[in-house]
Amino acid sequence: MNYTYIVRCADGTLYTGWTNNLEKRLAAHNSARGAKYTRSRRPVVLVYTEVYLTESEAMRREWQIKQLSRAQKEALIRQGGHPSAESGETAGEPVQGEEA
């Protein structure tokens, strides 16, 4: 699986990225081995995810989300796709290409 994700940084800013290992990527962000942007803004908290079958789909969606305004990103976060508090899994987001 490939993931497009948004994290909220300690300073309140949002960072969007993609990965094929969400748990490892979040650990990297929180241990200063992630993106340069998040290194000085730790800890980060996962607030939104989408799941894709291919890297190219996840990368394309990352670019699309990065074009959104902050208000549009906040609306996207409110709509869902954030991790379930209990399981850590993506809540209510079907894998792209599968039936909903």
Spatial contact of 18 and 60, defined as CB atoms under 8 Å apart: no
Contacts of 32 (CB under 8 A, 6+ apart): 39, 42
Domain boundaries, the chain: 2-79
Cα four-point dihedral sign 19, 21, 26, 29: negative
Are 30 and 13 spatial neighbours (Cβ–Cβ below 8 Å)? Answer: no
According to CATH, what is the number of the domain 2-79? 3.40.1440.10
pLDDT of residue 100: 31
- pLDDT tens for each residue of the chain, 100 residues long: 999 999 999 999 999 999 999 999 999 999 999 999 999 999 999 999 999 999 999 999 999 999 999 999 999 999 987 443 333 344 334 444 433 3
Q: Is 51 in contact with 5 (CB distance < 8 Å)?
A: no
Q: Tell me the pTM.
A: 0.81
Grouping H, G, I as helix, E, B as strand and the rest as coil, residue 17 is strand
